[in-house]
Amino acid sequence: MAVNLGKGQKVSLTKGNPGLSGVVAGFGWDAVSAGSVVELDASAFLLTSSGKVSDSKDFVFYGNLTHPSGGVVHLGSAAGDKQQIKIEFSKIPGSILRIAFSAAIYDGETRGQSFARVRNAYIRLLDAQTKNELVRYELAGQFTDETAVIFGELYKNNGEWKFNAMGSGCRGGLAALCGAYGIEVG
């Protein structure tokens, strides 16, 4: 049975599932727009103790589908989710302490689109082996002009993998997220 989280809640993934070797983060949403398509892209930022990426390759998204370690892979659309990202815990480099999951509206500022037009947004974490849903976090409709959202973070604490439901929005789309996590965009 999956745990439903609210904003700011945390849960251990491995404490109650000692054999858990990885998860699949599934993202879903309904984009509501008058006359134009709202395109969203899910991504993962692999963060060091500084809270930033150590290299641009630590950013997994539509333009970089696989982290060099093979521990984080963007799977695209699958199993009823709009997009999925797979994480294998044993392949995550020791320098990576957190993995932040986000979604951004493609060209949102230019198109005048924001998360105010996105409904039923969620992230769910599935056991990578069994595909059983472990955790679900549904974002409430608290957004207005934000063009990117950080759904939550996986993090390792005292040998356990945990998940923190965040639901933090920002303006500036993917470029703003990249800047916040230490990736220079031109």
CATH of 3-180, one of 2.60.40.1930, 3.40.190.10, 3.10.450.710, 2.60.60.30: 2.60.60.30
Q: 106 exposed, middle or buried (CB, 10 Å; 0-12, 13-18, 19+)?
A: middle
pLDDT of 185 reads 78
Residue pLDDT, tens place only, 34-43: 667 788 999 9
Residue pLDDT, tens place only, 42-84: 999 999 999 999 999 999 999 999 999 999 999 998 878 999 9
Domains in the chain: boundaries: 3-180
Residue 138, classed as helix, strand or coil, is strand
Q: Which of the four pLDDT bands, split at 50, 70 and 90, describes residue 16? A: confident
Separation between Cα atoms, residue 89 and residue 129, nearest integer Å:
12
CB 97 within 8 A of CB 159: no
The reported pTM is 0.94
pLDDT of 86 reads 98
Separation between Cα atoms, residue 179 and residue 115, nearest integer Å:
19
Record the tokens describing residue 115, joined without a space: 């998360």
